[in-house]
Structure 1
Amino acid sequence: MPFRNVFKNIFHYKALYGALLAWFVYVPEKSAFSESSSLMTYLGLVMYVIGITFNTYIYLIQRSLRPAGTTKRQITSGYEFSYVTCPNYMFQTLNWLGVLLVSRNWSVLLSIVVAVEQMKAWANKKEARYLFEFSGVYIPKKYGTIPGIL
């Protein structure tokens, strides 16, 4: 990882997710959870569970592709990988959209926008790396993170 990414990561994970979300979502007197029985809350919880479950599933697939102690890369494949280069980013976005529906807070939306932009950049780099490393074998994807959108 380039050294400049340290500062970007500190901002993203500490400032956006740590301070901003903690203050506007988790502080009891500022909480948006008063309407906890609404349909939007339940939909958000379902989206969160689906997103986190499939995100974990994708990471397990990716982890199984590299034999222990090697740097060998393989092309990821499977149903989810047919639509986007990085389905883990798609499910992570779904996960955070669920958090947004539950919290109904602008700070979560801001965090999602920043995260999606970063994941889009990472997906584009991964797509380019696949095209370079697996030239002639890899079938390029039209979208990197979210089918039909990004």
Structure 2
Amino acid sequence: MNPLVLIYPLIPRGIEVPAEEEATVVVNGIHVSTGGMTDGNSVNGIGVSAYHHAVKTNGISANFYNNTSGTLNGIHVSGFANNSEKGAGITIAAIGNYSENFSGLQVSFFNEAKSMKGIQIGLSNKSERLKGLQLGLWNKNGKRSLPIINF
């Protein structure tokens, strides 16, 4: 068992997307780990781990803590959070989803995207530029702030 799994929740700031020159791991297929990766270049396929940090993630990932990817495409489920610079597909997390630019579906307590095309479902949803729908207790986009439903 990777000892980082035990102290990972104590890290005060999220681990960022690895720099291209530092990202050494390429996975094409299935990645299953009791720990995770912090130096992923590209992961294409299915990944199951405690945490996941990669430049590009394409496919399906399930993570106990979080998933942080520069480019995130596919279905991504995390116990705490999903973070991406650019993403497309479905992100589901217990605490939050964040993306600079996302197309698809975000489901979590707190969803945030600077630019969003699609649907956000959660207690609180926020997007500076929204082309789509927000469903939640409080929804905010560049045009308006509304409870329950916003567009």
Same fold (TM over 0.5): no
Larger radius of gyration: 1
Higher relative contact order (CA 8 A, sep 6+): 1
Larger helix fraction of residues:
1
Report the structure, 1 or 2, having the larger strand content: 2
